[in-house]
Amino acid sequence: MAEEALFTSQQLCEYVTDLFRDRLPFNRLLGLQISQFDGEGVEVRLPWDDKLMGNPIQKILHGGVTASVLDTVGGLMAILHVVRDLREVSLEDFHRKLSKIGTIDMRIDYLRPGKGSEFIATASVIRKGSRVAVCRMELHNQDGEHIAFGTGTYMVG
């Protein structure tokens, strides 16, 4: 793609999805998949893998895996918050915007042991700002059991 080309919101969503899948080593290591990233919202999925265990006796997710998934889905939501407002933008300008996005702080509430065959994370924006956005995130397993809540404050501009 020529850097000079202008992208719509929808094209940027596809671009971010590709970037996330191909270019983020730690997400690949975890096995994280973006199952949704469009105008409607964000969803990330994580299939169970023994390597993600934090407690071999109880066979549950490491608390850091839960935090990683929640930070990822919250960060994607923050990116979506920015993308939604863009009409036509060059890739160069979008990269500049992306480079400003980062987590300032995050709280995780661990509600239940992380048991399941697949985990599904979603997010919404609770404070919409041009410089800072705050997101709430949730992690459920395949049976709808609520594993954890997250709250993240993200720099967005």
Positions touching its own copies (CB under 8 A) are 23-27, 29-30, 50-58, 62-65, 67-69, 71-72, 75, 95, 99, 102-111, 113, 126-127, 131-132, 134, 136, 146, 149, 151, 153, 155
Contact 38, 10 (CB under 8 A): yes
- Token pair, residue 51, equals 């390597």
Least gap, CB of 63 to its own copies (angstroms): 4
The whole-angstrom separation of Cα 89 and Cα 73 is 23
Residue 144: CB minimum distance to its own copies, A? 15
- Residue type at position 101: I
The distance of closest approach from Cβ of residue 68 to its own copies in the complex, given in angstroms and rounded to an integer, is 2
The C-alpha atoms of residue 32 and residue 23 are separated, in whole angstroms, by: 12
Which residues face 34 on adjacent strands?
44
Cβ atoms of 127 and 57 closer than 8 Å = no
Cβ at position 31, least distance to its own copies in Å: 11
- Rounded to the nearest 10 degrees, what angle do helices 9-23 and 63-83 cross at? 150
Comparison of 16 and 65: residue with beta carbon closer to its own copies: 65
Q: For its own copies, which is the closer residue by CB, 57 or 88?
A: 57
Q: Looking at beta carbons only, is 62 or 97 nearer to its own copies?
A: 62
